[in-house]
Amino acid sequence: MEPEDKKALDLEAGEGACSDPGAGSEERKSPDAGVKGKEETSPVAGEKGGEEKDPDAGEKDKEEKSSRKKLFMKWAKRIFLVVVAIFLVRYFYKNIDAYRNLDIRIDWGIFCIAVLFYFAYKVTLASLWHYLTYLNGCAISYPEALTAYLYSILGKYIPGKVFMLLARIPPYDEQGKSIAKVTVCFFLENICTLLGAAFLFLVSLFFFPNDLLKQYQWAAIGLVIAFFICINPKIINFFLKYLGKLFKKDNLQIPISYMQMIKVVALFVLNWMVSGTGFYLLSRSIYPVPWSEYPYAAGVFGISCIIGILAVFAPSGIGVREGIMVMGLGLIMPEQYAVIISIVSRLWMSVSELILIGIAWIVNRIRKTGKKPGAGQENSSDTDAGQQKNSD
């Protein structure tokens, strides 16, 4: 064979080797093998292995927890009302003989005006509560706050002031408001209530119709000065800080300035003057108390309420408040009339509060009836129809 033919044969053999698809197959991995490997590690395999999670499971758990919470709150409210009813019936049953044996003549015109003053006092107190929650950044709508406050009044008829707070929390919790902030507002409300009543009593001492307390007037002036020092938010926050550590709460602080605090306490003092006026008119409807003794009578009501609030063991200060009232009024009238007024004042407050709670319940039911889903859907459909006409 000639050399040229031999070279041509060698070139054809090389081209055939290069074009052979099976060459080097043992060293290279087939792309199908890679796909199979991926399929083996595919998340579908994990799902088939039982690791699949339902995305709606979390929502179902939340719905179940919400329904359980609503059911719990529903029964808690019922139990709360039953306990309040038991304590009220127990109190009036124990004192029914005292009410039957009352031999008095009441000027019903003045008495009704006294009831209206107490209504105004409670509604204003609820408004001040709403103002405090507004300052602390945990407010709800005014009608809801007013209803929550009036409902919580029932809690004071159970020993332990905590039931008033527990009865007030649910509407705030439902709207996602901070429970710690609501608790601070409750604490601040009680401080302002006590300070307002104390200030009213201290001022009333200057109108005391007897020379017995004249030697203590300078002490009263000193207490008034101490009063304005103690309402400094820095002092209050100092005690709230340690209270927060005790209950493991970090945000138990009042975020208001000293001038705002003076303004708030001044509003509480004015509101105490409203209730003191109502109490004076109540006393005057039973015994002819002169107008010159009006400030003192209002101050006696204030100090009796303070001690009644501090008497945690007594539901609504029952018994304690009446005892202080008899001691104070006994200096300006016969003791038998002081006893009668102290007994009637309990009815004056309790019946007035129950009437207000009843009115709040009726108004709340009307509001809820007016917010039926059907009404909103009808309005929205009417709006859509109007928009469609305008577009046509």
pLDDT band at 116 (very low <50, low <70, confident <90, very high): very high
Using CA atoms, how far apart are residues 221 and 223, in angstroms rounded to an integer?
A: 5
Whether 254 and 136 have beta carbons less than 8 Å apart is answered as yes
Residue 54: pLDDT over 70: no
Residue 378: pLDDT over 50: no
What is each CA distance from 336 to 284, 308, 331, in whole angstroms? 15, 21, 12
Instruction: Copy the structure tokens of residue 368.
Output: 């809820």
Q: What is the mean pLDDT of residues 70-92?
A: 64
pTM of the model: 0.69
Domains of the chain, residue spans: 100-365
- The single-letter code of the amino acid at 320 is V
Q: Which residue has the higher pLDDT, 104 or 82?
A: 104
Average pLDDT, the chain: 75
Q: What is the mean pLDDT of residues 359-369?
A: 84
Q: Which residue has the higher pLDDT, 64 or 163?
A: 163
Whether 305 and 121 have beta carbons less than 8 Å apart is answered as no
Q: What is the mean pLDDT of residues 263-287?
A: 93
Residue 230: pLDDT over 70: yes
Q: Write down the pLDDT at residue 380.
A: 43
pLDDT band at 194 (very low <50, low <70, confident <90, very high): confident
Residue 85: pLDDT over 80: no
Range in 23-27, 86-90, 120-124, 187-191 the model is least confident about: 23-27
Residue showing tokens 């049953």: 93
Residue 262: pLDDT over 80: yes
Q: Write down the pLDDT at residue 336.
A: 87
Whether 347 and 316 have beta carbons less than 8 Å apart is answered as no
Q: What is the mean pLDDT of residues 207-235?
A: 72
Using CA atoms, how far apart are residues 142 and 147, in angstroms rounded to an integer?
A: 9
Q: Write down the pLDDT at residue 125.
A: 94
Q: What is the mean pLDDT of residues 37-53?
A: 46
Spatial CA neighbour of 165 closest among 146, 178, 184: 184
Using CA atoms, how far apart are residues 320 and 314, in angstroms rounded to an integer?
A: 7
Q: Write down the pLDDT at residue 228.
A: 80
pLDDT band at 207 (very low <50, low <70, confident <90, very high): confident
Whether 139 and 130 have beta carbons less than 8 Å apart is answered as yes
Q: Write down the pLDDT at residue 99.
A: 59
Range in 68-72, 233-237, 269-273, 363-367 the model is least confident about: 68-72
Q: Write down the pLDDT at residue 308.
A: 80
DSSP 41: T
pLDDT band at 202 (very low <50, low <70, confident <90, very high): confident
Residue 151: pLDDT over 60: yes
Residue 386: pLDDT over 60: no
Residue 40: pLDDT over 50: no
Q: Write down the pLDDT at residue 102.
A: 63
Q: Write down the pLDDT at residue 76.
A: 66
Residue 212: pLDDT over 70: no
Spatial CA neighbour of 306 closest among 160, 183, 197: 197
Q: Is the dihedral of CA 273, 275, 277, 283 positive or negative?
A: negative
Max mean pLDDT among 114-128, 315-329, 352-366 falls in 114-128
